[in-house]
Amino acid sequence: MTGTILGAPDIGRALTRIAHEILERNEGHESLVLLGIPTRGVPLAHRLAARIAEVEPDFDAAARCGELDITMYRDDLRSQPTRSIGPTTLPAAGIDGATVVLVDDVLHTGRTIRAALDAIKDEGRPTAVQLAVLVDRGHRELPIRADFVGKNIPTSRIERVDVHVSDIDGDDAVILSGGRS
């Protein structure tokens, strides 16, 4: 099964559902902070925040959204070409005592999330950290799971999952490629 797995309407529905699930799980939005993991987690976090604000009008989407660069916490810095470091921007109020929802496009080995948890630890002490991903493709290498999942896509290791986000790629899509034909 290769090709486009999710189109723009599917992604929109998934994000709307996740936004509701986040509110349900946390019984409101008082202490919510959404942190996107670059690159594509960042626009997804902004979209989730906008959807939460549609449901809860006094949720300030812009003030509760941030981005968390995890480059300096990766465990594969020596086995990859040098990565450039991106910005980390947190809500002005910080994340102490907040419920942080990490947002990423694809959950795969779990190593990115492991790095993100370390990065969060250095930025403050949230009450809880939750994880929202658009796609869970399996093949975890660490004991990490997502709290909110857009779609579970069973894959083989040799396949590729590419998420397109309109802010970056011009369209919204989840594309599976590279498997045995």
Partner 1 sequence: MKHLLGTQDLSREDATLILDTTAQMAATQEREIRKLPTLRGRTVVNLFFEDSTRTRISFEAAAKRLSADVINFSAKGSSLSKGESLKDTALTLQAMGADAVVIRHWASGAADRLAQSGWMHGAVLNAGDGTHQHPTQALLDAFTMRRHLVADPDGKGLDGLTVAIVGDVLHSRVAGSNIALLKTLGANVVVVAPPTLLPFGMAAREDISVHYTLDDALDAHDLDAIMMLRVQRERMTGGGSGFFPSPEEYTRLFGLDRARMDRMPEHAIILHPGPMNRGLEISAEAADSPRSVIVEQVSNGVAVRMASLYLLLSGEEAPSE
CB 132 within 8 Å of CB 22: yes
Q: Whose CA is closest to 128, among 101, 147, 105?
A: 101
Apex 12 CA angle, 8 and 13, nearest 5: 120
Measure the CA–CA gap between 129 and 107, rounded to whole angstroms: 16
Q: Whose CA is closest to 51, among 120, 103, 126?
A: 103
For the CB of residue 72, give the shortest distance to partner 1 in the complex, in Å. Answer: 4
Quick one: tokens of 59? 């949720």
x/- map, 29-68, partner 1, by CB under 8 A: ----------------------------------------
Member of 57, 122, 170, 181 binding partner 1 (CB under 8 A): 122
Nearer to partner 1, 62 or 85 (CB): 85
For the CB of residue 84, give the shortest distance to partner 1 in the complex, in Å. Answer: 7
Question: If binding is defined by CB under 8 A, does position 118 make contact with partner 1?
Answer: yes
Helices (H) and strands (E) in the chain, counts: 4, 8
- Near partner 1 by CB under 8 A, which window of 3-11, 86-94, 100-108, 167-175? 86-94
Quick one: tokens of 39? 């690159």
- Near partner 1 by CB under 8 A, which window of 82-90, 126-134, 151-159, 163-171? 82-90
Task: Report the interface residues with partner 1, using CB under 8 A.
Answer: 69, 72-73, 77-88, 118, 122-124
